[in-house]
Amino acid sequence: MSLKDCSQIFTLGPQGTFSDEATQKIRTGGVSITYTGTFVEALFKVTEDPESVAVVPVENSVAGTVAQVQDSLVSNDLLILGEINLLIEYALLANAELEKVEFCFAHPQALEQSSGYISGNLAKAQSKLTRSNVDSGIQFLEAVDSGSVSAAAIVPVSFAEDYPQWKYASGIQDYQNNTTRFLVVRSRKTNEKLDYSCKKTSLFVEFQDDRSGLLYQLLSVFNLFQINLCRLESRPAKDTPWAYVFYVDFYNSTDTEACLDVLSFSNFRYKVLGSYDSLG
């Protein structure tokens, strides 16, 4: 299934989230969007509908990997169709001077990406975690309507523009080039044929034993074919305490298939998570 054959897209809601903004970059006429409460829910839903895709964030240039998304790619047996890079800008809503703010509504990713601003300006405020950046704004507005609390919220700049009376600051993210990489994924089919002429390939790699030199051996295979890695990350193996698996992203070359063949004969188990291009 290509994106043009997709009938439904699952992504984190409600409307107006950064996930929704990324989704709009690939949405074509007639394709419906179903908003979910969490990233993991979107990835689960896509396994139930073979004609659907999900759009989820996998990595932020400041905060790093979105762990539950990365792990769900493997546990749900999903295939990456493409990636979308989106510049992330946050604004702060507040109904009081910042030193008087009691609660700050924020999604965990927003807190992490704006930690410098928050520690410098809202150190006394209690963080109230939300399900999305738009949900942060909604909960803030509900608190303001109640009139019983001094509150703030970290929200997308686009959301703050609709409430100029509460907009306190813009561009509060720690780094102005703050970018999130979103993946477009679908359920994996049997006997998938991948196109290694695309820009990138992503792998899940696990070792069959534990000994010195394993990581060196893995990297040596890519070095043999002069293949450029763009990400290498370890994650805990879920079934064995203190054992680790690796996620590898690399730029494809004419030797990609030969490299994967050598990996197959090495002491590794791996799964190709997708070979794909940038979609926006």
Domains of the chain: which residue ranges? 1-87+179-186, 90-170, 200-274
| Residue 93 near residue 140, CB atoms below 8 Å | yes
In three-state secondary structure terms, 218 is helix
Residue with tokens 């102005």: 176
Q: What is the pLDDT of residue 248?
A: 97
**What pLDDT is attached to residue 9?**
96
What is the dihedral angle through the alpha carbons of 129, 22, 68, 155, rounded to the nearest 10 degrees? -10
How far is residue 160's CA from residue 153's CA, in Å, rounded to a whole number?
A: 10
| pLDDT band at residue 90 under the 50/70/90 scheme | very high
Angstrom distances, CA of residue 143 to CA of 123, 147, 253: 20, 7, 54
pTM: 0.93
The pair of structure tokens assigned to 65 is 């990997």
Distance separating alpha carbons of residues 47 and 19, to the nearest angstrom: 19
* Contact status, residue 224 vs residue 263, Cβ threshold 8 Å: no
Q: For 37-58, how does the pLDDT look when each residue is reduced to its tens digit (9 = 90+)? A: 999 999 999 999 989 999 999 9
CATH 3.40.50.300 applies to domain 1-87+179-186: no
pLDDT bin (cut points 50, 70, 90) of residue 5 is confident
Tokens of 110: 């927003």
- Crossing angle of helices 67-75 and 39-48, in 10° steps, is 20
The more confident residue out of 208 and 196 is 196
Task: Indicate the class that CATH gives domain 90-170.
Answer: alpha beta
pLDDT tens digit string along 124-182?
899 999 999 999 999 999 999 988 789 999 999 999 999 999 999 999 999 999 999 99
Q: Please indicate whether the domains covering 90-170 and 200-274 agree at the CATH topology level.
A: no
Q: Are 136 and 111 in contact (CB under 8 A)?
A: no
Q: Which residues contact 220 (CB under 8 A, 6 or more apart)?
A: none
Residue with tokens 């002491």: 267
Give the CATH H-level superfamily of domain 200-274.
ACT domain (3.30.70.260)
**Residue 96's CB: how many other CB atoms inside 10 A?**
14
Three-state SS at 225: coil
How far apart are the C-alpha atoms of 221 and 261, rounded to whole Å?
10
Beta strands in the chain (DSSP E): 8-12, 32-36, 52-60, 64-65, 78-87, 90-94, 103-106, 126-129, 151-156, 167-170, 179-187, 200-207, 229-236, 244-251, 268-278
